[in-house]
Amino acid sequence: MCGIAGWVNLKDDINQYEEILDRMTAKLSQRGPDDLGKWISNHALIGHRRLVVVDPAGGSQPMVRTREGHQFIITYNGELYNTLDLRKELELRGHKFYSNSDTEVLLVSYIEWGPDCVEHLNGIYAFGVWDEESQSLFLARDRFGVKPLFYAQRGNSLIFGSELKVLLANDLIKPEIDKDGLSEIFALGPARTPGHGVFKGVYEVKPAHSIFHNSNGTIVRKYWALESFEHQDSIEDTLSKVRELVYDAITRQLVADVPVCTFLSGGLDSSAISAIAAKAFMASQNRQLHTYSIDYVGNDKFFKANDFQPDSDPYWVKRMSEEFNTQHHYITVDNDKLAEALKDAVLARDLPGMADIDSSLWLFCKEIKKEATVALSGECADEIFGGYPWFHKEELLNAQTFPWSRYVNERCNILSSEVNSVLNLSEYASMRYNNTILEVPRLPGEAPLDAKRREMFYLNIYWFMATLLERKDRMSMASGLEVRVPYCDHRLVQYVWNIPWDIKMYGNREKGLLRQALKGLLPDDVLFRKKSPYPKTHNPAYESFVRKWLLEILNDTSSPIRQLINLEGVRAIAEGTSDYGRPWFGQLMAAPQLMAYLIQVDLWLRNYKVSIV
């Protein structure tokens, strides 16, 4: 994994702005700590920071290839999981290769197929290819947006990069937000509308989209979409196919020339990845898999079971590590460090995020990076197999809004009356929800309840999963750790998309299909453990810390957030005389996380010198 940056201007000579490219690329040093490179011409400045994972000697970027007088330059962040298959096909078409890197395979794929190359890729990627001869730029992002890619157009310039901070390092891009940007932060945050860059005039290449930019203009194309059709396979064939796709996705993603590990919580999703990886490592390399788990100081004392989090992870982590003989690393986070890292998480994400859910992952990945460069994680299984409560509880399924962020009116109470008079958070959230529902690929003749669940799966894949993938990418890459997500393999997602709900609920259990497909791989007690989400701290010390910090912000007349919020209402929450009273995002993010989010908003406004226009 790496970081990419670029600036294209088809009319003006920009090669004298190499220093600005250097500044943009420098913002990616943590994503790519191992190498840097740049390519300069009159109308294109292309930069790259590299994290070495495959072919240390042959994968340097920007990579240049020439064919029939055309010089092609690629800057690429990602990993292709069908590199060998593509290479064989391209060799049959007459191409020669000079390295073992997937970068070269990707570049030659573009040379062979042009913009249609994305239809041949299996992997996670964000890349740009500049054609010097035709003076054209091609940008593309993987099917579910695992890897980030932002861009902005200013006059004759198109500027792009892996992270928002890259664009903001260019003098043409100002850290300004308008009414829509504020609505993203307060109505939807920490989620974000696909394609919306929050900052004014800044956009994100949407998942499964590409951009072709030349003298004729800029064309945005959706190159892939989920398809809805009648599922014809028997239950036995469905189980077999799911098992095959899960095994194949995981084993493909173990390939690397650097140490690989897995995240292990003892839940179904991470346990399956760890079990398959442990067996593969022992069979092919005769070595132990390294696994990692996270917990918090005091959780053994303060943890309380609830509907969303029925039990804690440590027992199950130990159970799995012993069963599969992994070398396990227990990482325990101090609560003061957890709070202090809220700032680090903002600087990594360039936006307010999932509060301590972000900062804990930032700290977790920082520790893992000391021993490993690549990790596999269990994100996306709940979104595609239906693991969350909102797939099962009728009031959530029929909420007619994003079920992980239902209480928009309560969000309004956090804002000042002046801001509420300008923003209409409920209307904005409703608009984004309804626009997404219109995109859902329908199955003609589907029963109303099944159609509703299809909507829910679509919302989860393109909103909730996107939020978790953004979190995973920014918090891990801030330490130069590449995290892969096997359940996000597009072949698996497409197949499961059309499986009827009663099969997904095999045995009348949430994710019953996945459990049954993995039977024989995991011990039964692990296989049928009730879902438990990513762990949060239950230690009151953390809540005390964020309360004190938020009160300091409220008492500081220079704090930029003060102009936006209802000071008395937020003060009541910070002082504990009023409680938000319910999760404000996701399953577990309640009052402590709301306070931490407001702290992050203030940090963001300060550190990025954000102007409201």
Residue-wise pLDDT tens digits, 225-263: 999 999 999 999 999 999 999 999 999 999 999 999 999
Q: At what angle are helices 335-349 and 356-368 packed, to 10 degrees?
A: 90
Ranges in the chain, pLDDT < 50: none
Q: What is the pLDDT of residue 577?
A: 81
What confidence score (pLDDT) does residue 45 get?
Answer: 98
Residue 223 has a pLDDT of 98
Question: Quick one: 169 and 27 in the same domain?
Answer: yes
Within a domain: residue 603? no
Q: Which residue has the tokens 């796709």?
A: 245
Query: Please, are residues 273 and 260 in contact by the beta-carbon 8 Å criterion?
Result: no
Domain shared by 169 and 279, yes or no: no
State the distance between the two ends of the chain, measured CA to CA, in whole angstroms: 35
pLDDT in tens, 408-418: 988 999 999 99
Instruction: Count how many residues are written for the chain.
Output: 613
| 455 belongs to a structural domain | yes
Is there a single domain that holds both residue 240 and residue 205? Answer: no
Can you give the pLDDT at residue 536?
Answer: 76
Amino acid symbol at 468: L
Q: Which of 527, 562, 593 is the last residue of a domain?
A: 527
Task: For helices 268-285 and 235-252, give the axis angle rounded to 10 degrees.
Answer: 60
Q: In this predicted structure, what is the pLDDT of residue 305?
A: 63
Provide the pLDDT for residue 54: 84
Do 169 and 64 reside in the same domain of the chain? yes
Distance of CA 54 to the CA centre of its chain: 22
Q: Please tell me whether residues 207 and 266 are part of one structural domain.
A: no
Residue 460: give its domain's CATH number: 3.40.50.620
* Structural domain includes residue 406: no
DSSP result, 10-52: SSS--GGGHHHHHHHHHTTTTT-BSEEEEEE-SSEEEEEEE--
Which pLDDT value is given to residue 580? Answer: 64
In a domain, 385, yes or no: yes
Residues 210 and 239 in one domain: no
**Do residue 347 and residue 484 come from a single domain?**
yes
Identity of residue 336: D
CA angle 162, 165, 169 (to 5 degrees): 110
CA 35 from chain centre, in angstroms, equals 24
Q: Please give the angle made by the CA atoms of 283, 289 and 290, to the nearest 5 degrees.
A: 175
Residues 351 and 327 occupy one common structural domain: yes
- The tokens 């073992």 sit on which residue? 100
- Is 214 found in the same domain as 335? no
Query: Are 326 and 462 part of one and the same domain?
Result: yes
Q: Position of tokens 């964020």?
A: 546
CA–CA separation, 223 and 488 (whole Å) = 17
**Rounded CA gap, 315 and 27, in Å?**
40
Answer whether 0.85 is exceeded by the pTM: yes
The structural domain count of the chain equals 2
pLDDT at residue 56 in the model? 84
Give the C-alpha separation, 191 to 184, whole Å.
8
Pick the last residue of a domain from 498, 527, 556. 527
Dihedral Cα 222, 226, 228, 232, nearest 10 deg: 140
- The answer to whether the CB of 584 falls within 8 A of the CB of 413 is no
CATH (domain of 167): 3.60.20.10
Same domain, 108 and 240: no
Q: What is the pLDDT of residue 198?
A: 98
Domain range enclosing 217: 2-176+199-222
Residue from 78, 70, 76, 16 nearest 45 by CA: 16
Structural domain contains residue 601: no
| Mean confidence (pLDDT) of the chain | 95
Q: Is residue 412 part of a domain?
A: no
For residue 100, tell me if it sits in a domain: yes
Residues with catalytic function:
2
Q: What residues are paired with 46 via a beta bridge?
A: 6, 39
143 and 164 together in one domain = yes
Quote the CA–CA distance of 424 and 409 in Å, as a whole number. 10
Q: Is residue 354 part of a domain?
A: yes
User: What are the DSSP E strand ranges found in 166-223?
Assistant: 176-177, 203-204, 209-214, 217-222
* The last residue of a domain, from among 472, 505, 527: 527
- Residue 77: CA count within 13 A, CB half-sphere: 33
